[in-house]
Structure 1
């Protein structure tokens, strides 16, 4: 019998048998959407993003920055995940218009602008900075980054002629239709165009952009 102030404790077994035994086939497989890509570069680094509202750099995470190439499309992108949580802190294609710039006062970090980073879901324009352990690692990243730019540029150049050829080549039926049009139609259209052109005031003509045959002024160089 328990005395005053004493309680009788029951022995409790903390072990519980699982309701369902998982087999090899029942194990959950987590997909990263990187299964069809090969790693071209991998290096530990720390990533920052510039916050324009606060006008300051904010840390995004520390982990392995990787440059991945898709086995089918051959397109190359940059992906970085935070340590432990593996949350994505950078995810974007490496395009030819990006330019790595050395961070002021450091030989081991780079800064570049991204038009569409999708690490947070929706594509957003970002200014990113990455810092490595030493200048040698930073140099290796720059080499791999620029090689990825060349790869993506070559892919875009190879796809461009095929798209242009498809757009410029009229369908056979359309060609036949043009051949069947009477010659008189062309003369009527030219006459109408001339009449309309004469009716346009000189002030309106001056506001129209010049033809493509005119030499265009050189474009201003982008700020580096």
Structure 2
């Protein structure tokens, strides 16, 4: 009877209208929009729990190696499936080396000094496992390439900074060298100036001594010219009577 009553009862399909309708679509930013994906593959990630001395699973999802378009360090990011929660996020630094996991050719282990997947940087020992050894080899090649690029960028940056902006110590040292050079130049110029000052009275004395001698010579020359003029006039006067006598004889 109960089954008949239930079968004869009309079916009810309840529908509930939403109280507030969402008209705007919310865009969630992951922080990866401006990055170039250098590597992407599905894998499973583990972390080593030191207090418990055992490996614990962090999640399964896609591991990515990302390079910022605006320039910067290449990093490794991994999110869990469905929830997309970050389970690994760190820069691939020059001190990171992949070591094969014991008894597996598709798993790698490495140490991270600052993983920020939980917000605060923490030191972790991570292990990742792929579906096969080929995928593990591809990950190793991409990981080491990112490490080498970051290492070359780190080496070039301080050199450029040293060329563009001198350090305070270098600036102080350069200033000290300039002061020493100026002191050396002043020390060299002082004896020269003193010698020049000492030579000035001597030059004046020599000029004073030379002046009277030149005056005496000039006076002698003038007297000699005057004497020659007197002699010439006397000779001309003596020749006048003789010329007159000769003119009379001719007449």
TM over 0.5: yes
Please give the alpha-carbon distance, in whole angstroms, between the structure 2 residues aligned to 1:20 and 1:167. 62
C-alpha root-mean-square deviation of aligned residues, in Å? 2.7
Q: Partner of 1:146 in structure 2?
A: 144
Q: Partner of 1:170 in structure 2?
A: 171
Q: Partner of 2:58 in structure 1?
A: 60
Aligned residues: 170
Residues 121-140 of structure 1 mapped to structure 2, 5 A cutoff: 121-140=119-138
- Residue segments in structure 1 that go unaligned for 5+ positions in a row: 1-10, 185-224
CA positional deviation for 1:21: 4.2
Q: Deviations over 1:147-206 (max 9, x none)?
A: 1011111221221112223234528xx83995399859xxxxxxxxxxxxxxxxxxxxxx
Q: Partner of 1:15 in structure 2?
A: 15
CA positional deviation for 1:96: 1.0
Q: Which is higher, the Rg of structure 1 or of structure 2? A: 2
SS of equivalent residue, structure 1 residue 75: coil
Please give the alpha-carbon distance, in whole angstroms, between the structure 2 residues aligned to 1:176 and 1:102. 55
Q: Partner of 2:230 in structure 1?
A: none
Residues 80-99 of structure 1 mapped to structure 2, 5 A cutoff: 80-99=78-97
Q: Partner of 2:105 in structure 1?
A: 107
Higher RCO structure, 1 or 2 (CA under 8 Å, sep 6+): 1
- Residue segments in structure 2 that go unaligned for 5+ positions in a row: 1-10, 185-251
Q: Deviations over 1:91-125 (max 9, x none)?
A: 00001110000001110000000000001110000
Please give the alpha-carbon distance, in whole angstroms, between the structure 2 residues aligned to 1:177 and 1:104. 60
